[in-house]
Structure 1
Amino acid sequence: MSSNQLPAELQDLVVTGKLADNERIKGQSQQLRGTIASDLTDPVSGGFTSDNFQLIRFHGMYQQDDRDIRAERAEQKLEPLHTVMLRARLPGGVITPKQWLAIDDFAKHSSHAGSIRLTTRQTFQFHGVLKRDIKTMHQMLNRIGIDSIATAGDVNRNVLCTSNPEQSELHSQAYEWAKKISEHLLPHTRAYAEIWLDGEKIESTESDRATTAEASGAEVEPILGQTYLPRKFKTTVVVPPHNDVDLHANDLNFVAIAGSGEQAGQLVGFNVLVGGGLAMTHGDQATYPRTADNLGFVPLKHTLAVAAAVVSTQRDLGNRVNRKNAKTKYTIDRIGLAVFKQEVERRAEVTFAAAAPFELTHRGDAFGWTAGIDGKHNLTLFIENGRVFDFVDKPLKTGMAAIAQIHKGEFRLTANQNLIVAGVAERDKAVIEQLARQHGLINDSHSNQRKSAMACVSLPTCPLAMAEAERVLPSYVDRLEALLAKHQVPEEAIIFRITGCPNGCGRAMLAEVGLVGKGPGKYNLHLGGNHNGSRIPKLYRGNLDEQALFAELDSLIGRWVAERQPEERFGDFVVRVGIIAAVVVPKDDFYAA
């Protein structure tokens, strides 16, 4: 790879001014160590102090508290009930039954939530872990071959990959690249092993990074840099025509391209798309969601070099002064796509070829049984809100443990918060389906609409939440189902998503109907996303309560049913008839009247 030194002609594109305080925190952190180890032994507080509150994110954790009881504890002169949420690193979402049983056991005994949460980042989260149990949690994960390195913070996070990699050889090859990209972009610091594993080796790749650091006499971060990235960074590997990972929500995307002739069905390279992202800030029109741009095609041999070049270009040109404008999408809009592309080519020592043609036609998960090329079968289970828990009427967590006890294949988590029991032999299908039905993991009454809805966690634990999301999604879907039935289209489905704040975790800014929390019980209603996830929805009405929200949807769905063209989706209809303007160039169109 060529030098990462920024050329003189690009020096003027660096944002100058007083750096955001996060830059100080990273710079003084001793490569992400801070004083986390000391905080762990402090019996006075259940939380982490000052800079460590931010630094634990680089280790895959967020400090949270139960906001439902915050006021009560304050009245009792107690600090908030501090716990952490941990997000595991699981490239492509693949996990073994043995690993599942270990995380199931930990959630049962060491998490006050008692649940496993499947996330839109194609991995699992523990919620409600007390400080006394954090080190035990990391050591348990290490024993089963999992870690949480770089699943949060200003680094490249868990790499997503289109689900069901055994459906074709192309899928399988793409999944292997997702793992390689994840490893290539990890931090080199030994802080994670030192703090949580008492210095134990994690795996051979981690050992190799340590050896490099020892040889140089210091820990060096050749890709991420000594102060890491200006902001979080997200990467996907996509296998068309499926867009189940919502590529336009991510900074960097590798779209798998199959060969022809003798290479038919084989992965030959990737189209590289950059600059997607969904987060924004209420009232700040300098922030906005954005779809990704296609830089062009590269053959497989250049994949890791291009990944590193995109990351390092964002590292050096991203905004370190204003974190609200620090993501890759803003860097590209500020300096121009052509300049960004040229710098990536220089660093990776490649020239992008013209983008290979591809089409995205599907976004949801394929529920039920599918057959793989290996002669085995895959069962996709719908997990509402991604919450694996023993509810009163559906003991999902017990059911998954029962399946894990006998399953000989793998589990695959999807970016839509669902779960695939993968690699099932023909002779084992019946017993696995019986267990799934017995525990409520298969429910034939779930509507297409329910399977097309998604929400972030939000209240009571997320400190950024302004409104409910996960806890209201089931009842909101009930109301939406009732509207579809009222207008005599009960089998239809609208891509419907709720996020408790404008930070984008529920991917509402790629929905046909997206609700963004504005305050307690109030949401902004966005319309006009499309079925394949390539168009941003636009604000239609702001600050609506539940009654006003569903009154608007009642009217809109009535018009859609009465006036739509054959097979026309709801999001396309509201744009075609002028109910909402299409967002073509988000920077210009998202807030335009």
Structure 2
Amino acid sequence: MADKKLSKVEGIKGDSQYLRGSIKEDLLSDAPQVSSDNFQLLKFHGTYQQDNRDERKGGSKSYSFMVRSRIPGGKVTAAQFLAELDLCDKYGNETLRITDRQGFQIHGVVKGDLKSTIRGINESKLSTLSACGDVCRNFMCCPAPHHNSPIHDEMQALAKKLAMHFAPKSTAYSETWLTDEDGEKTKVAEVNFVEPIYGKTYLPRKFKFGIALPEDNCVDIYTQDLGLMTIVEDGKIIGYNILVGGGQGMTPAKKETFPAVGKRMAFATTEQIVEVCEAIVKVQRDFGDRVDRKFARMKYLIHNWGLEKFKAKVEEYYGASLPEPHPTDVTDVDDHMGWHEQGDGKLFLGINVENGRIKDEGDFRLKTAIRVLLNKYGMDARLTALQGMILCDIDPADKADIESILKEHGIALADDLSLSRRYSISCPALPTCGLAVTESERIMPSVMDDFDGLLKEHGLSEERVTVHMTGCPNGCARPYTPDVGLVGKARGKYTIYLGGNAQGLRIGFIYADMVPQEEIVSTLSPVFARYKSERNEDEAFGDYCHRIGLEALTAE
């Protein structure tokens, strides 16, 4: 790679003095946007500059920023949740979005309010550091607050430990956002400083982690750069199967790009896992593609090398050989919606948040309902990978009152929703995502209305058919692994993927391309008719499509 020209972003990172750049100067300027270099560096600080295409006037762009909080395992206190709601009202567009990676996003923040927003998040003891950028991003983990065994607590503790271990150590973040202008003068650079894990130019591309159980792959570990499958024997975690090389993004113009699920590489004990994870990250750091960012994810390194060579290099960096994976594999997934016992005498309640958007709109007043509940009961909350939320530590005596508050604010309970709607997610797409070619979040409710009608028509309303939608092929909402994936291809048109499953074990195949939004359901109706009559006992829709295959499904 030494004789090839590195990508422009590599130069920006290398010259940034460990993520400083000229961000502080840019924040003081009157311009509504930042420079192209700082546009890239701000991602590491947890914010993306965006342009609201709905608000463009006379051809000029309408700039604002999306601010993302990194929340390991999706665990937040009532105070932190309320703080994010306050900040979205004060500085954002008055909505708060739960991401499909268990974080929060505040949209519509203008540049002049960016520092106050990020500082406010930090004052609540959350952070935006490394929520974006070429680093290890949010560490996902099953959020279920089960307390009748230590398993979930230990998994969530590992997510937090890994998040702290892999967080950038440069003080650029605190200098930029947490230091008063009239306070102590900040350093231009840290003398003799080197990022202990990332080095001067950080990683070639973003890096995603997830931790789950075989019986509950609720964070889609096969779609992660590094997935950890928790192995339990006799009620105790003995270690983790290590899955490497997942990744959902692709670029249609570059035919060599592809979505991928992770490969089963090795097993590591609980004592080994952090150091093994570090070895994997460092191999990607040193050998990932820094020339073409389209091929910079770790899945391409593994594709080019092969798993055997990649594992050998990881073992070299780790300093010892690693055994083959435990035979256990993913068997199911749970959305954690509805009422559940925690195992300690308390209850938890999973609330579906359609497409993750917390808002007040007409009779639907989810934002107000959350404020009422958190102020009244003060319970902790968890964010799910399906863009939902969990309220924890509920006294059974309060169940009726909590249900009443939700219903008064127009919030449907889990039992009132179809399984398909509960398991559906989408990316934000238009109007603010710069990569979007068409709609996703804003049309997903109507798409799911039509989808529920389709399932009812074929007598399949009780089936769990997972549907993920994105406004472009980059795959933020993991559209390549569910039963049905809807991927934006052009304005108002989508590629339909079939043959994945709820467990997220494989990549689906293209069933139809360039399908207008209004024809999605009619295009799928014949497939569901065949599924109803031809499926095996207890066979899920995606498993049926995978078994039958594209050729048989499209045969006249």
TM-score, normalized by the shorter chain, greater than 0.5: yes
Q: Can you list the C-alpha shifts for 1:213-262, whole angstroms capped at 9, x where unaligned? A: 97xx4221121121000000001111221111111211011211123xxx
1:230 counterpart = 2:204: yes
Report the residue type matching 2:33 in the other structure.
G
1:117-156 matches, cutoff 5 A:
117-156=97-136
Alignment equivalent of 1:506, drawn from 463, 477, 480: 477
Do the aligned partners of 1:32 and 1:191 also contact (CA within 8 Å) in 2?
Answer: yes
Alignment equivalent of 2:33, drawn from 35, 47, 55: 47
What RMSD, in angstroms, separates the aligned Cα atoms of the two structures? 1.8
- Identity rate of aligned residues, in percent? 40
Please, which moves more after superposition, 370-379 or 444-453?
A: 444-453
Alignment equivalent of 2:16, drawn from 25, 29, 32: 29
| Other structure's SS at 1:301 match | coil
**Following TM superposition, by how much is the alpha carbon of 1:580 offset from its aligned partner in structure 2, in angstroms?**
5.3
**Following TM superposition, by how much is the alpha carbon of 1:15 offset from its aligned partner in structure 2, in angstroms?**
7.1
**How far apart, in 1, do the equivalents of 2:213 and 2:162 lie?**
15
Alignment equivalent of 1:552, drawn from 523, 533, 536: 523
Alignment equivalent of 1:190, drawn from 171, 188, 195: 171
1:571 counterpart = 2:546: no
User: Structure 1 residues 430 and 136 mapped into 2: Cα distance closer, same or farther (>3 Å)?
Assistant: same
1:65 counterpart = 2:51: yes
Alignment equivalent of 2:4, drawn from 14, 17, 36: 17
Q: Can you list the C-alpha shifts for 1:13-52, whole angstroms capped at 9, x where unaligned? A: x575111101011011111111110111101x11111201
Partner of 2:146: 166
Q: Can you list the C-alpha shifts for 1:64-112, whole angstroms capped at 9, x where unaligned? A: 0111122x342xxxx412110011010000000011111111111211x
1:367 counterpart = 2:337: yes
Partner of 1:244: 218
Partner of 1:588: none
**How far apart, in 2, do the equivalents of 1:33 and 1:191 lie?**
5
Do the aligned partners of 2:241 and 2:325 also contact (CA within 8 Å) in 1?
Answer: yes
User: Structure 1 residues 414 and 580 mapped into 2: Cα distance closer, same or farther (>3 Å)?
Assistant: farther
Corresponding pairs, count? 545
Report the residue type matching 1:447 in the other structure.
S
Do the aligned partners of 1:320 and 1:326 also contact (CA within 8 Å) in 2?
Answer: yes
Do the aligned partners of 2:223 and 2:504 also contact (CA within 8 Å) in 1?
Answer: no
Do the aligned partners of 1:84 and 1:129 also contact (CA within 8 Å) in 2?
Answer: yes
**How far apart, in 1, do the equivalents of 2:448 and 2:116 lie?**
38
Partner of 1:403: 373
**How far apart, in 2, do the equivalents of 1:308 and 1:324 lie?**
24
**How far apart, in 1, do the equivalents of 2:380 and 2:137 lie?**
22
1:289-328 matches, cutoff 5 A:
289-328=259-298
1:388-537 matches, cutoff 5 A:
388-443=358-413, 444-537=415-508
Please, which moves more after superposition, 176-185 or 357-366?
A: 357-366
| Other structure's SS at 1:539 match | strand
**Following TM superposition, by how much is the alpha carbon of 1:199 offset from its aligned partner in structure 2, in angstroms?**
7.5
**How far apart, in 2, do the equivalents of 1:513 and 1:500 lie?**
15
Report the residue type matching 1:549 in the other structure.
I
User: Structure 1 residues 461 and 284 mapped into 2: Cα distance closer, same or farther (>3 Å)?
Assistant: same
Do the aligned partners of 1:302 and 1:350 also contact (CA within 8 Å) in 2?
Answer: no
Please, which moves more after superposition, 332-341 or 423-432?
A: 423-432
Partner of 1:89: 70
**How far apart, in 1, do the equivalents of 2:552 and 2:66 lie?**
39
1:104 counterpart = 2:91: no
**How far apart, in 1, do the equivalents of 2:468 and 2:2 lie?**
35
Do the aligned partners of 1:93 and 1:413 also contact (CA within 8 Å) in 2?
Answer: yes
Do the aligned partners of 2:32 and 2:63 also contact (CA within 8 Å) in 1?
Answer: yes
**Following TM superposition, by how much is the alpha carbon of 1:149 offset from its aligned partner in structure 2, in angstroms?**
0.5
**How far apart, in 1, do the equivalents of 2:435 and 2:475 lie?**
11
**Following TM superposition, by how much is the alpha carbon of 1:376 offset from its aligned partner in structure 2, in angstroms?**
1.6
User: Structure 1 residues 468 and 355 mapped into 2: Cα distance closer, same or farther (>3 Å)?
Assistant: same
Which stretches in structure 2 are left out of the alignment for 5+ residues? Answer: 182-186
| Other structure's SS at 1:271 match | strand
Report the residue type matching 1:148 in the other structure.
T
| Other structure's SS at 1:577 match | helix
Partner of 1:38: 25
**How far apart, in 2, do the equivalents of 1:578 and 1:427 lie?**
51
User: Structure 1 residues 40 and 580 mapped into 2: Cα distance closer, same or farther (>3 Å)?
Assistant: farther
| Other structure's SS at 1:121 match | coil
**How far apart, in 2, do the equivalents of 1:106 and 1:130 lie?**
13
